[in-house]
Amino acid sequence: MDPLTATIISSIISAIEPMLTESKPEPAPFGIVRPVQPGSAKAVMEPPREGYAKFGGKPLLLSPGLQIRNTQNFIVLSGSIQQPVIVRYQVDPAGSVNRVWMLSAAEASLPDPK
């Protein structure tokens, strides 16, 4: 194999390797706290299925414009959630869930705002 091909293959493998190893998501950097959203409720969310998700055992319709944010505040797809997670969620005027924030262990332990 010529050196150019070996270099290209080596760089591809080194770029893909981190994606193949399972890693836990990094917690939010120290000192950065996401604000508690007014009107949000805390619950355990079951993985969404067919446009619905259970929040604390209660099935709720998911809004077509649903935004789910992970512990790093990135938007994630509902299909990527495969196990129950502790969340804060908001319901729109039609009664559909339109915003969900997945909580880190530190955020989940904080008391509800008064």
- Report how far residue 13's alpha carbon sits from residue 108's, in angstroms, rounded to the nearest whole number: 38
Residues 4-32 have pLDDT tens digits of 888 888 888 877 777 666 555 555 555 56
Whether the pLDDT of residue 58 is over 80: the answer is yes
107 HSE (CA, 13 A, CB side): 25
For 70, residues 6+ apart whose C-beta sits below 8 A from its C-beta are 25, 76, 102
Residue 91: predicted pLDDT: 93
pTM: 0.69
Q: Is the CB of residue 34 less than 8 Å from the CB of residue 85?
A: no
Residue 44: predicted pLDDT: 95
Of 18 and 44, which is predicted with more confidence? Answer: 44
In sequence order, which ranges of 1-98 are alpha helices (DSSP H)? 3-20
Of 2 and 63, which is predicted with more confidence? Answer: 63
